[in-house]
Structure 1
Amino acid sequence: MKEIFVVTHPEATHHVEGRVGGWFDSELTGRGVEQAQRIAAALAKRVQPGAALYSSDLRRTAQTAAAIGAQLELEPVWLTELREKTYGAGEGKHDAWFRERFVPPPPDGERMDHDEGLEGAETKLQWARRVYAGVEKILSDSPRQKIIVTHGGSATLVIARWIEMPLDALTHASFKVDSGSITRLVEDDYFHNHTVAHLNDTTHLSS
């Protein structure tokens, strides 16, 4: 059996300050640091020696991966492809500023190449292609257990690539995952199906 644990970073400063994340390089709060330790402890019960650890290189995910790596004795592999969607000029701005300028995608029609009205922002298609390319690198590695530390938005794309959802099927796709969650993806050895075995597990945060 192959397993991938998709971890979303826990509470970061942009959350509590009401700022847009994206590539804005926020860090974990004190509470987030504690939550990262809880994530690491939960994974230590499930992950065997010989696993591999991959992470977005932004500070909040890097801190989360460092906590996991320290407890599991794993050295993170940093992948810029696992970063959150970039919101360009909107990154780090307060939510009110952002919402005055952001152009949400239409309910129908062109959603993947939609221009959100923010200079330098990725379209959903650009974002998806980037994350898919990162997951391709991860899947090509040999360890049967892998940990991916990423962001709430990008987690949807990691999961979508795992179930081999084509890019043109992503127009409305979204998997709801909370900060500090663990999602377990499995490939069985008989049918070789790609299963979302457990989505958005946060029980470790309150244990």
Structure 2
Amino acid sequence: MSSLVTGPDGLARPAWAAASDLLRGYYDTEWGMPVTDEQGLFERISLEAFQSGLSWATILRKRPAFRDAFADFDPDTVAGFDDATVEALMQDARIVRNARKIRATVTNARATVGLRGRHGPGTGLAEFVWSFRPARTPVPGRIEDVPTTSPESVALSKALKKEGFVFVGPTTMFALMEAVGMVDTHLLGSHRRGCSGLWDAEGKSTGDPW
């Protein structure tokens, strides 16, 4: 049985991406496209952490509020958040009011700032994360064929934890890798398969994202 749904526009998408206009728009324009800047990677790591135990649709609906609350996920600004700021965020009903996740975002902002240049001139979060990109990507025909972890996501998780990051488990990091184009788990037959331009039909790397 196919895991794809053909919409009124004649385009095939996985069922999760056809569930609402919000998810459809995210899938069609953003999910799986390369993100190679520090602020963009920090935002997505933060949102993946907040998503833990919740639906992605919930996080997407709250994304504008998250951006407002966390200074557009500017790492330098968030790294300066103190206990009073965290307490104020806990009163902000627009976001997910989870103290551990809010504090994790601040912790990860500080780790992001601390990572700059640590592994050589010009290195930072984006270069660090993308260094774990695999040589091949999955080529799933059904949703059941999409993995939830990989050796690379396990390695990335361990490496980020060593750098001081939290809420970056292997499953969360694989979801990040999917979201930012490090792997392509669009189903075969989806109109978005290959949209990043980084993989060929057999799942082999075709080039660098930079």
Do Structure 1 and Structure 2 share a fold, with TM-score over 0.5?
Answer: no
TM-score, structure 1 normalization: 0.25
In terms of fraction of residues, the more strand-rich structure is 1
TM-score, structure 2 normalization: 0.25
In terms of fraction of residues, the more helix-rich structure is 2
